[in-house]
Chains A and B, each alone.
Chain A
Amino acid sequence: MGPQHPATHGVLRLKLVLDGEKVLDCEAVIGYLHRGIEKVVESQDYQQIPPHMDRIDYTAAVSNVLGYVEAVEKLMGVTVPPRAQYLRTLMTELNRLASHLIWLGTHALDIGAMTVFLYAFREREEILKVFEACFGARLTTHAFRIGGLAEDIPPGVLDKVREFTDYFPKRVAEYEQLLTGNRIWMNRTIGVGCISAEDAISFGLTGPSLRGSGVRWDMRRAKPYAAYADMDFEIPIGKNGDTFDRYLVRMEEMRQSNRIIRQALDRLPDGPVRAKVPKVIKPPAGEIYHAIEAPKGVLGYYIVSDGSSKPHRLRVRPPSYFNLAAIKKMIVGSLVADVVAVIGTLDIVLGEIDR
């Protein structure tokens, strides 16, 4: 199956061994989108790197850049002003919604529910408009700079975001109305792609894919970053670790993200949005690992600095990479048609896996 296949969300090849409709064995072949980002950034200044990070997971560019700039700030010992922290939280959660909406739309489309796709992209469009107003780009946003934001967000945007948060929970209810009790949806997702909590931990699954198996682990809570320590939100978990549970977890996460955005709007402090940082960033020699909860799971950056203006090594721990590695465990023994459902439920982005 693949590498060119509409359900693989990029360029993924799965070698399947079949007995009729039954999957006996599976091997994922990746690397078609390998761009050598980890090598390229070794020749770039720290300030030049965020645009590369945008292109790792292009559906969640804001999250990617957040993880990177926070790692560098940690290494340099920079304290980011509170307004920037709150704006970062707000934008990252909007990005989580955008990413989950892509997942919802394409996942449902793969399984055969066309309508949800159109609804989900309608709301996503509103989020992208906010990004365009704030950062001048819709997808590869280059949202944050080391030390804060490039500039304060333009007037009027916050009202738009507030308006959005008013109606968004109703839209989530609409999606749920279309899917949650839908007989076909339930047949296609309940009991499909099961993975136990122990297996999920052993495979290094993170994000909603792990929480669907009942492990309450979220980096926003475990190691709070940006302004998450001030936010009040719940971490939804599933029970059975199947596709349906992961679906419910992500739907609830969208509501929780909406809550976080509301809180960030209500408490947004005034003040500068950027700390003072030198023009040429030269972090002291040393190494840092910083991980955030990206929409797909734990996104980690391991940066080794030798004191110069370019990193000695920058490792990205992409959540999708580890999530995809579990696919064999999840689909062996099920039917070919379920493979598509499992790829969708893992919410992978190949740009992030191959880097």
Chain B
Amino acid sequence: MPEEKSPRPETPASPPADKKPKPPEKEPFSKAETLAFLQSALPDSFSEAYTFLGQDFLLVNKASLPELAELLKEDPSQDYALLEDITAVDYPQNEKRFELIYILFSLTRQDRLFLKLAVADGETAPSMTGLWESANWAEREIYDMFGIRFDEHPDLKRILLPEDWHGHPLRKEYGLAQQDEEWIARNLELIKPQSHLGVPSNKEIEHLDVSQPKS
């Protein structure tokens, strides 16, 4: 039964929005007292502070990151007690291609602070495991996916991929369908390498006849 349809609600006559809304831009750092506090306590610890879409970023210098993080966590005026997440972004064109992002949350201020650290390929980053337990698995995942190593991490090994896997999938040069063919050949029954063919490529695997029982 067709329902009696109410007339289609008209879209409210909104003011003619400009065709192209202005792209968001960097603004001055919004947490003035945090900035003043850090400038007096650790003046050289960061190179830039800005706010983007309401998010407060600090570009941190590597040497002072542990000290800065500890201060933000322990000092009662800041109280960023929770490390919500650590993640990394790969910018292959940059001189220091990886950017680590630490997301801190303060339960008393109910607000976030983002720390950014640029890391070159092969360079290590200081581990936050001494300050937050949550850094343990987060850093392991970054190591697994990007190959960034962390100093003084208690148990830095792969977490999602097998321990003897080669390659770090979230790097930009890692192909979408790329796999560690050798690992697969070693570990998955279906595609045992045949000595005269060597390791079959993925393309060859597609044409393998698996309907016949193996001899």
User: A interface vs B, CB < 8 Å?
Assistant: 30-31, 34, 36, 38-40, 42-43, 74-75, 77, 155, 199, 201-204, 215, 217, 222-223, 270-272, 276, 284-289, 291, 298, 300, 302, 304, 312-313, 315, 317, 321-322, 325-326, 329, 354-355
Chain A residue nearest to B141 in the complex (CB): A321
Kindly state the separation between the CA atoms of A38 and B21 in the bound complex, as whole angstroms.
29
Residues of B within 8 A of A313 (CB): 89-90, 170
Chain A residue nearest to B169 in the complex (CB): A39
Kindly state the separation between the CA atoms of A43 and B177 in the bound complex, as whole angstroms.
11
Q: When the two chains form their complex, are residues B89 and A272 in contact, meaning their CB atoms are under 8 A apart?
A: no
Kindly state the separation between the CA atoms of A329 and B133 in the bound complex, as whole angstroms.
10
Residues of B within 8 A of A286 (CB): 23-24, 52-53
Q: When the two chains form their complex, are residues A289 and B134 in contact, meaning their CB atoms are under 8 A apart?
A: no
Given A289-B103, A315-B87, A40:B159 Cβ within 8 A: no
**A-B contacts, CB under 8 A, total:** 102
Q: When the two chains form their complex, are residues B84 and A222 in contact, meaning their CB atoms are under 8 A apart?
A: no
Q: When the two chains form their complex, are residues A34 and B161 in contact, meaning their CB atoms are under 8 A apart?
A: yes
Residues of chain B in range 131-168 having any CB-CB distance to chain A below 8 Å: 132-134, 136-138, 141, 145, 158-162
- Additional A-B contacts beyond A30-B159, A30-B160, A215-B107 (7; CB < 8 A): A34-B161, A204-B134, A298-B84, A300-B103, A315-B89, A317-B87, A325-B137
Residues of A within 8 A of B89 (CB): 287, 304, 312-313, 315
Q: When the two chains form their complex, are residues B83 and A204 in contact, meaning their CB atoms are under 8 A apart?
A: yes
Residues of A within 8 A of B24 (CB): 75, 77, 284, 286
Kindly state the separation between the CA atoms of A34 and B9 in the bound complex, as whole angstroms.
44
Q: When the two chains form their complex, are residues A155 and B3 in contact, meaning their CB atoms are under 8 A apart?
A: yes
Q: When the two chains form their complex, are residues B170 and A39 in contact, meaning their CB atoms are under 8 A apart?
A: yes
Residues of B within 8 A of A36 (CB): 169
Residues of B within 8 A of A285 (CB): 23
Kindly state the separation between the CA atoms of A74 and B21 in the bound complex, as whole angstroms.
13
Kindly state the separation between the CA atoms of A199 and B81 in the bound complex, as whole angstroms.
11
Kindly state the separation between the CA atoms of A34 and B180 in the bound complex, as whole angstroms.
15
Kindly state the separation between the CA atoms of A321 and B52 in the bound complex, as whole angstroms.
28
Kindly state the separation between the CA atoms of A339 and B33 in the bound complex, as whole angstroms.
46
Q: When the two chains form their complex, are residues A31 and B161 in contact, meaning their CB atoms are under 8 A apart?
A: yes
Residues of B within 8 A of A223 (CB): 110
Residues of A within 8 A of B87 (CB): 302, 315, 317
B29 on the A face (CB < 8 A): no
A34 CB to nearest B CB, Å: 5
Kindly state the separation between the CA atoms of A56 and B209 in the bound complex, as whole angstroms.
33
Chain B residue nearest to A43 in the complex (CB): B176
Among B101, B103, B137, B176, point to the contact of A40 (Cβ < 8 A): B176
A354 CB to nearest B CB, Å: 6
Provide a sorted-by-A list of 25 A–B residue pairs whose CB atoms are within 8 angstroms: A30-B159, A31-B159, A36-B169, A42-B176, A201-B81, A202-B133, A203-B133, A204-B132, A223-B110, A270-B9, A285-B23, A286-B52, A288-B53, A300-B84, A300-B85, A300-B103, A302-B103, A304-B89, A313-B89, A313-B90, A317-B103, A321-B141, A322-B134, A322-B137, A322-B138
Kindly state the separation between the CA atoms of A75 and B83 in the bound complex, as whole angstroms.
23
Kindly state the separation between the CA atoms of A298 and B107 in the bound complex, as whole angstroms.
13
Kindly state the separation between the CA atoms of A354 and B144 in the bound complex, as whole angstroms.
12
